[in-house]
């Protein structure tokens, strides 16, 4: 029951935030804070119970199942394992960061803004918990619509174009996934005579080679568009550039990870033979994305657009790790998902803070800011080197494990992807040099980070250091879930 409550609290909190604006214009953000605080308390319960009963050593340690549309085999089936727990924790943490970064930026229709923000979080957590494929698709769509409103209403100068492009890309790819879900259910129905969208029952569905390949591609395209992977990435730089800071934090830190989660949870276990045959292509797409996006990053003059391309590059690492499909690469993909979520969210918060102070995103209109904004500058440098994979920080652990796991599968593509270790410092140094060094650009007097901003970025910095120096906790929590996914694919292949 606690899993259903996790989603319902966010839904109710969203409506409460929307309607609270009638009493006090500042109330919605406090309602959102309270809602996420309740969410944290609810998350502690299943984690504590699982820890005390050694439930974390098993794949699934929390479950809720109830009827929804039984005539067609659709149920409210939610389940939590270590993978979903980690991603939900990341979602809640970055939810707080999105609220913090929107504290002074959002000045109009705050109630509706925080309603959409909490709806995004509710849909995302639903994606991480749903083990009924129809329910999964429902939550997949639920998180897209409020993000469209966040970009189109509170975004910047070209927000309408970016929002529509985001919506079209995600909706068309989602339609392919829906067709694949229905086709998979109908194939099972023809064999068993009963309708079911349940993940655990569909795992055992026998598929012909051609059918398995086409169904796998339906899921794969939907998830790689959301990840995104080159060449399906073109919506992301526009969406990030035009989104409000809170929207960018959720989009980069959390929503992109739903694509990686879908590949791990559904593509590989449901279609193991087709995925294995397609793996060289997927790994090549990942390696190309890593390098292409890194090159594009240091060609940008818009700070948010540069950070957006670094996200595409990191998502290529995740795709490379997932389709290498061994314990090392999968653990590396999970750590990279968490570490990138934190560092990318922090960089977008910093870009939003600079835009709020300078009223520009163009690095050519910045320069010499370090003496005027020493705390902001130091934190930017920290997260820039975290993003490029400095040893001792979270991104390094994830990328190292991915490369080590992928090397045993495809040496050539792994070596090619490793070239990003040369390219990443280039775009990071360009960003730091253009923004904080050189002659001071003519600006009005600037204020450094406030206590709220300093505490928010400081918490993310501490989390990044902890993840880099002590990743074993994360590895222990995710290991049973990843082992179960690998066993599921082996059983079906057999």
Residue-wise pLDDT for 123-162, tens only, equals: 999 999 999 999 999 999 999 999 999 999 999 989 999 9
Mean pLDDT of the chain: 91
Looking at residues 445-454, what average pLDDT do you find? 86
Residue 372: pLDDT above 50? yes
Residue 493: pLDDT above 50? no
Looking at residues 228-233, what average pLDDT do you find? 90
Q: In the numeric block, which tokens belong to residue 162?
A: 């970016």
Residue 438: which pLDDT band, with cuts at 50, 70 and 90?
confident
Residue 444: pLDDT above 70? no
pLDDT recorded at residue 171: 92
Model pLDDT for residues 473-491, shown as the tens digit of each residue: 999 999 988 988 888 766 4
Model pLDDT for residues 63-88, shown as the tens digit of each residue: 899 989 988 899 999 999 989 999 99
pLDDT recorded at residue 494: 43
Model pLDDT for residues 9-54, shown as the tens digit of each residue: 999 999 999 999 888 888 999 999 999 999 999 988 766 766 665 6
Residue 381: pLDDT above 90? yes
pLDDT recorded at residue 292: 93
Percentage of the residues of the chain whose pLDDT score is greater than 70:
96
Looking at residues 343-359, what average pLDDT do you find? 93
pLDDT recorded at residue 147: 96
pLDDT recorded at residue 58: 63
Percentage of the residues of the chain whose pLDDT score is greater than 90:
72
pLDDT recorded at residue 50: 61
Looking at residues 100-108, what average pLDDT do you find? 90
């Amino acid at each position: 029951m606690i899993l259903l409550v996790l989603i319902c609290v966010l839904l109710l909190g969203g409506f409460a935030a929307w309607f609270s604006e009638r009493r006090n214009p500042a109330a919605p953000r406090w309602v959102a804070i309270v809602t996420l605080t309740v969410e944290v308390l609810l998350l502690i319960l299943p984690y504590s119970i699982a820890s005390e009963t050694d439930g974390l050593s098993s794949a699934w340690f929390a479950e809720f199942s109830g009827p929804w549309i039984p005539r067609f085999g659709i149920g409210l089936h939610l389940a939590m394992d270590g993978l979903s727990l980690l991603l939900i924790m990341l979602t809640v943490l970055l939810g707080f960061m999105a609220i913090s970064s929107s504290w002074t930026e959002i000045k109009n229709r705050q109630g509706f803004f925080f309603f959409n923000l909490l709806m995004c979080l509710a849909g995302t957590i639903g994606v991480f918990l749903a083990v009924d494929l129809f329910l999964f698709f429902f939550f997949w769509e639920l998180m897209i619509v409020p993000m469209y409103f966040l970009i189109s209403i509170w975004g910047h100068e070209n927000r309408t174009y970016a929002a529509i492009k985001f919506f079209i890309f995600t909706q068309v790819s989602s339609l392919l996934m829906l067709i694949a879900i229905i086709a998979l259910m109908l194939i099972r129905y023809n064999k068993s005579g009963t309708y079911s969208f349940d993940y655990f029952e569909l795992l055992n569905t026998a598929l012909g080679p051609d059918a398995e390949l086409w169904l796998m591609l339906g899921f794969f395209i939907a998830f790689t568009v959301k990840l995104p992977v080159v060449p399906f990435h073109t919506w992301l730089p526009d969406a990030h550039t035009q989104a409000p800071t809170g929207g960018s934090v959720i989009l980069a830190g959390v929503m992109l990870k739903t694509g990686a989660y879908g590949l791990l949870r559904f593509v590989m276990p449901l279609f193991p033979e087709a995925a294995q045959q397609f793996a060289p292509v997927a790994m090549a797409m990942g390696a190309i994305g890593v390098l292409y996006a890194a090159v594009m990053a240091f060609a940008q003059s818009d700070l948010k657009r540069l950070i957006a391309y670094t996200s595409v590059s990191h998502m290529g690492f995740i795709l490379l790790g997932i389709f290498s499909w061994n314990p090392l690469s999968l653990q590396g993909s999970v750590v990279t998902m968490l570490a990138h979520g934190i560092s990318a969210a922090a960089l977008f918060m910093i870009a939003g803070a600079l835009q709020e102070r300078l009223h520009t995103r163009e690095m050519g209109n910045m320069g010499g800011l370090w003496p005027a904004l020493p705390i902001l500058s130091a934190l930017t440098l920290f997260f820039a080197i975290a993003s490029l994979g400095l040893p001792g920080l979270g991104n390094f652990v994830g990328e190292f494990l991915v490369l080590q796991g992928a090397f045993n599968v495809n040496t050539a593509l792994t070596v090619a992807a490793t070239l990003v270790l040369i390219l990443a410092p280039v775009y990071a140094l360009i960003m730091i040099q253009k923004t904080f060094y050189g002659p001071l650009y003519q600006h009005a007097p600037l204020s450094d980070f406030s206590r709220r901003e300093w505490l928010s970025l400081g918490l993310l910095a501490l989390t990044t250091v902890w993840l880099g120096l002590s990743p074993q906790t994360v590895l222990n929590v995710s290991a049973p879930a990843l082992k179960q996914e690998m066993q599921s694919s082996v059983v079906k292949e057999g």
